[in-house]
Amino acid sequence: MAPTTAANVGLAARDASGHLSPLTIARRNTGDNDVAIKIMFCGICHSDLHSIKNEWQNAIYPIIPGHEIAGVVTEVGKNVTKFKAGDKVGVGCMVNSCQSCENCNQGFENNCPGIIFTYNSVDRDGTVTYGGYSSMVVVHERFVVRFPEAMPLDKGAPLLCAGITVYSPMKYHGLNVPGMHVGVLGLGGLGHVAVKFGKAFGMKVTVISSSPGKKQEAIERLGADAFVLSKNAKEMQAALGTMDGIINTVSANIPVAPLLGLLKPNGKMILVGLPEKPIEIPPFALVSRNKTLAGSCIGGMADTQEMIDMAAKHGVTADIEVIGADYVNAAMERLAKADVRYRFVIDIGNTLGDCAAAVSE
């Protein structure tokens, strides 16, 4: 264990109120296969909010959330070959896995029974993992992603979770074919990136949203081809049976059956959103016209690198609101109300130190 130092600080929730405040932490010394990273930016994913409020009933407090980490390498272990000090890198939702099972060998560390998440997870050495709302992190090189030269750290950070979470199901469920019609349900952090990847793949993209105020920018700024307001019966009726697939990113429990109606026969809805309560599916909504409902959890490391490389090539980045560390609790309140266009990103490098110092004074 590295000694606990004042410079090594994070923003932690201590209980289900989810209130975040500074906490001094220890990170392990840089091991032979490890990369030490100075964190510059960290995106705020809705999973961070679910976690700090213990909505999934699995919280290990204190929780330092954050799994959309972008930063700069400060030190590497002696066996590390892929990175050197000064490299721009990212870390997403995983920091370890068994690294030897069939899933890991095929590049699907995300499906490893021994997956270690970036925060709120017990690592293989018995310590609890702390996420990216913190000054630095030490990660096995397998779980570090290289930032392409053209990819900015701030607008690229959200790709480490939001990006791979929508890219992977598009790739593996055949929703990356030019001319196909994909629906993006929920225009938040994940959803807006899904729109951009859909267009980069050459697809027709329709946003299905509960927020009328997002229509204009969905089409004009994000490049969607169409917008369906899910509360508008006429618009839903007109879209019935038109989509090859839907990426469902909604973070809340909503009735899914009417949305399955938007699929063509044999169409697929891929669930990536993780609302608190079980989802109700009337059997006929799936069985009639041979629909599929599938789930998808982030993506493997090779796919994550492929995703960010493709994003750089096509100019896909997140639309972000950069905030200081002292704004994080207000940001969480706004995220709960879907009041963000479209991802908060914390400027860790410039503001976390001051925020921690102000509280300890």
Q: Residues interacting with ligand NAP, by CB under 6 A?
A: 45-47, 50, 161-162, 165, 186-191, 209-211, 214, 249-252, 254, 272-274, 296-298, 335, 338
Residue 97 binding result from Zn ion, ligand NAP, none, given CB thresholds of 5 to 8 Å by partner type: Zn ion
- Contact call for residues 175 and 70 (beta carbons, < 8 A): no
The CA distance from 166 to 145, in Å, is 17
Residue 274 binding result from ligand NAP, Zn ion, none, given CB thresholds of 5 to 8 Å by partner type: ligand NAP
- Contact call for residues 65 and 10 (beta carbons, < 8 A): no
| DSSP secondary structure string for all residues of 122-143 | B-TTSPBP--SSBSEEEEEGGG
- Cβ distance to ligand NAP smaller for residue 30 or 47: 47
- Judge residue 358's burial from the number of C-beta atoms within 10 Å of its C-beta, 0-12 exposed, 13-18 middle, 19 or more buried: exposed
Query: Does 297 help bind Zn ion (rule: CB under 5 A)?
Result: no
Q: How far is the CB of 102 from Zn ion (least distance, A)?
A: 8
The 68-97 site mask, x for binding Zn ion (CB under 5 A), equals -----------------------------x
Q: How far is the CB of 257 from Zn ion (least distance, A)?
A: 27
Residue 209 binding result from ligand NAP, Zn ion, none, given CB thresholds of 5 to 8 Å by partner type: ligand NAP
- Write out the two tokens for 295: 């789930």
Cα radius of gyration (the chain):
20
Q: How far is the CB of 217 from Zn ion (least distance, A)?
A: 22
Mention every residue, 6+ apart, whose C-beta is less than 8 A from residue 144: 35, 37, 82, 83, 89, 90, 91
Q: How far is the CB of 45 from ligand NAP (least distance, A)?
A: 5
Query: Does 135 help bind Zn ion (rule: CB under 5 A)?
Result: no
Parallel, antiparallel or unpaired: strands 116-117 and 94-96:
antiparallel
Query: Does 355 help bind Zn ion (rule: CB under 5 A)?
Result: no
- Write out the two tokens for 3: 């000694």
Query: Does 104 help bind Zn ion (rule: CB under 5 A)?
Result: yes
- Write out the two tokens for 138: 């030490």
Which residue number has the CB closest to ligand NAP?
188
The CA distance from 223 to 24, in Å, is 43
- Cβ distance to ligand NAP smaller for residue 203 or 340: 340
Residue 104 binding result from Zn ion, ligand NAP, none, given CB thresholds of 5 to 8 Å by partner type: Zn ion
Query: Does 304 help bind Zn ion (rule: CB under 5 A)?
Result: no
Residues in contact with Zn ion by CB under 5 A are: 45, 47, 97-98, 101, 104, 112, 161
